[in-house]
Every structure is written in C-alpha cells, then in structure tokens.
Structure 1
Amino acid sequence: MSISTPTVVLVHGAFADAAGWFGVVDELQRDGIPVIAPPNPLRGLASDAAYVASVAARIDGPVVLVGHSYGGAVITVAGTAENVVGLVYVAAYVLEEGESLGELQGRFPAAPLAAHLRRWTCPVEGGAGVPEVGVAEEAFPAVFAADVSASVGRVLAACQRPLAASAFTETASAAAWKAKPSWAVVAGADQAINPEVERFGAKRAGATTVEFDGASHAVAISRPRAVADLIREAVRATGERATAGERATRRKT
C-alpha cells in the first residue's frame, strides 16, 4: 500500500466491544490496510470522543474513523482531529453540532430495543454513582443481532458493556462531517436504531451510502466483507487525496 494509505480506526458502540469488529479487521488486514480497534470507554460523548481523538493523534499519518451505533456520534466529534481524513458510519448515529442522541432519536419512532433497556447505578468512590444503561439479556439477540446465529447472539448478550446514561443527553460539540468526506452503512432491518435515523443522518452529512436489506444492528458481524468493502472505498478515496496533496506540496518545494 502507498505511504499515504490511511490507518482505519474502528470505534464500537454501546452494549458492545471491539470484538464485534473481528471479521472487518480480518478483511482489512488481508488487503494490507493498517487497522486498529481500540476500546470505546462508553462514559459519555465528550470524554469518549476525546479518547478516540487521542488515539487518532498518536497515529503517524492519515486516519479514517469508523463508528458503529453510538460510535458514530463519537467519531462525529473526534473526527475534527487534524489527521482524520474521512468518516465511515456503520448502522450509526450521525449527529449535528449541538444535537444529542436523544434529540435525534426523538424525531423518529423508537426502535424495539428501547423497550428492553435496563437502568442501574454504578457506584463510584466518593460520589452518588453513575447511571448506566444496558439491554435485557433475553431480548438482546432479537433486537441487536437477529441475523447472526442464536449462539453468537447469546454470547454478545452476555458480553455486552453498559453505556453511561448521560451519553443520551450530551450534545455534540462539533460535526466533523461538515469538513470531511463520509460514508455510511444503513442496516435495513435494524431493531436497535430505527433505520430512518440512519438514513436521515447519512443524507444530512452527504455521505456515500449503501443499505443492506435484512441486516441487523450487528451488521459488522453478520456481513463483515460488505462493511469492509465500504471502508476500503473510503480508504482508497482519502488515500488518493492524501497522495495528491503530498505531490502538490513537493512541487511547491
């Protein structure tokens, strides 16, 4: 690959971890595309975006950020990092500056997952605790991963990570898609995020969009090659721009 090939940073969303990207990582590595899938802390939009931006900043060269679900909101803010050259949204929230997840979701009918959320308080030293949200384990396979095997769905349910409840009300401090190119996957049978939310956000961002009929929220697990194909497209397009920019710089000097 060219020295201008961007590194792909895969950001998972709520109720999940980086393991959901295993198939996509394998696909990209087979093509020699540099890729990492760091943990998303799931502690709140501002702090999660700052963490992901710090991961991107440590990478030498251009970066394409890929966000699944709530991870889409995170990359929308973190994508303002200087070396981020593109954004890919996978069954994700695409926020506007000053908008929260709750505000965006509230414009559309709720997805089935909303009826199966469970809330509790995580104790913290010296404080009243942090409200957290998770998905009822018995409902998780149907509302999150309906197009993977039943056994995988049960494993995902058992391994889910909770999201700080504040993430639903925090507003995005920036919208990186206004200045950087974006791509989007819409999961046509998503039961966790209303697909209309995904379509609306992708259209608003002017994203190059593909829709997979019958795909669940766990589309990166059920269709890793198809998701990787769109990421490859983003890598090629942004890599070509980076290479052209390098050439122009060399001509000037």
Structure 2
Amino acid sequence: MAKPSIVFAHGLWADGSCFSKLIPTLQAEGHEVMASQHGLDSLATDVAAVKACLGRVSSPVILVGHSYGGTLITHAGTDPRVAGLVYIAALAPDDDETSQSQQAKFPTTDVFAHIEVTDGRIWLKPSGVTYFAGDLPEAEQKLVYATQGVPVPDLFNQKAEGTAWKTKPSWFIVAANDHTVHPDLERSAAKRMGATTFEAESSHVPMLSKPGFVLDVIRKAASAVQKS
C-alpha cells in the first residue's frame, strides 16, 4: 500500500518554507508532499488554497497544520481525501468558535505586544521574534522575521464551515514553551478532540526547533492511517 501524502498548512508570520526541515525527509521516505502557500487574505481563500493542494497529491492525505494552520486543516479536513490531522502548536476551533474566540479563552500577550498594524496587515516586529521562535539560533530567527507572512487584521474573526477533528483521527503536538498560542489552549484543544498528544519543550515553532520530534509524530500518524 502506498504511503499517505502529506499536505502542510502554515500559520501567521510564516509561509510554506517553515516546513523546510520536514519536507525533504518525508519525500525521501516515500511520501508525496505539498505545502500550501496561502496568502492570509481571508479564511475562505486560505481554506481553498489548502484544499487545492489535496488535488496535487495522491489520496489518502494527512493534513498538518501549524498555529492558524490548525484552523485551516480543521475546515479543509472534512474533504473525503483527508484521512488524518496533525496539529502543531495549533488552533482548532469548534463550530461556534473563530480563531480569535478560541484564543481569547487562553490569552497570551507576549508576542502580541510586539506587532504593528500598517498597510492593511499585521506585522511582527523584530522584537517579537524571540517570543515566536526564541529557541532558534539567531540567524534562523532573522530568517523567520524576513520571510514572515502577514495577515489581514480581521482574519481571526472570520468563520468557515466544517470541523474535521470531530470525524477524523488527530494527533497534536503541544509546544510547552509557547509564547504565541498558550500551551494550555493547545492542551485543551487536544483533549477536546481526543487527539493522540505529544508535548515538546519548544517555542511556537517546533517544526523548526525540534524537527526530529515533529517528524516522528507525522510518521506515527502516517502509519496509523496506512494500517486503517
């Protein structure tokens, strides 16, 4: 049986390159891989971009979402081509929630004290990178800053249909030292969805600071989907 494909969905202040430490290994292990390059312009268009990637790889697919990417895979994951969901330090709103209303239940002000709204976008200031990716080497932190994807201001207040974690198996990586999404939000979300849960001693970006850890979780998800 062919290995499941992997489709990645990035969050705010990121693009598909945030998965660059995972993609080559997964490809070498026989997975088809795509990373959605959505523009953070609207929830609807971002979900559509993730779904479009499903058509570029073979089914079944495991969706992997980081941060706001968790919201995207929650909605896009209802597609029948999706067999499983992997959340990385992610949001995962229920039917009656938005990204913002879920995050408001476990507020963290650390990174959000270091943003700037200008030119119709929310920018991460240089001073905010340490709260976002503080366990990366300085050169990698500078790269994160330079390649940030910038959202429209109302993105987190938008809604979309579909809650895939209610019907699809899920795996969740909690970032224990996260200063962007509160670790207790991540734990609560994982418990609510009944996810197989793993905890990493990492910042908000374990796929960059602990890539081996994240790869092992994706492998476990892929193996479970392949056997089912």
1:44-59 mapped onto 2 (5 Å cutoff): 44-59=42-57
Q: CA deviation at 1:15?
A: 0.2
Question: Structure 1 98/47 Cα, relative in aligned 2: closer, same or farther at 3 Å?
Answer: farther
State which drifts further: 180-189 or 193-202. 193-202
Matched residue, 2:220? 233
Deviations 1:3-39 (A, max 9, x none): 2x21000111110111111111122123222222231
Q: CA deviation at 1:159?
A: 1.6
Deviations 1:72-128 (A, max 9, x none): 00110000111001000001101111311110111113241111121123xxxxxxx
1:125-164 mapped onto 2 (5 Å cutoff): 131-140=120-129, 142-164=130-152
* Distance (whole Å) between structure 1 residues aligned to residue 20 and residue 6 of structure 2: 13
Matched residue, 1:98? 96
Identical positions, percent: 37
* Distance (whole Å) between structure 2 residues aligned to residue 59 and residue 159 of structure 1: 26
Whichever of the two has the greater Rg, that structure is 1
Matched residue, 1:217? 204
2:77–2:164 CA contact under 8 A, matched in 1: yes
Structure 1: unaligned runs, 5 residues or longer = 122-130, 242-253
How many residue pairs get aligned? The number is 228
1:111–1:194 CA contact under 8 A, matched in 2: no
Q: Give the alignment partner of residue 190 of structure 1, picking from 175, 178, 188.
A: 178
Amino acid paired to 2:44: A
Q: Give the alignment partner of residue 16 of structure 1, picking from 2, 14, 32.
A: 14
2:5–2:60 CA contact under 8 A, matched in 1: yes
Amino acid paired to 1:27: T
**Structure 1 residue 176 and structure 2 residue 164: aligned?**
yes
**Structure 1 residue 77 and structure 2 residue 64: aligned?**
no
* Distance (whole Å) between structure 1 residues aligned to residue 160 and residue 88 of structure 2: 18
* Distance (whole Å) between structure 1 residues aligned to residue 51 and residue 157 of structure 2: 21
The runs of at least 4 consecutive aligned structure 1 residues that moved more than 2 Å come to 57-60
Two-structure CA RMSD over aligned residues (Å): 1.3
- Structure 2 length normalisation: TM-score? 0.95
Q: CA deviation at 1:150?
A: 0.9
* Distance (whole Å) between structure 2 residues aligned to residue 198 and residue 134 of structure 1: 24
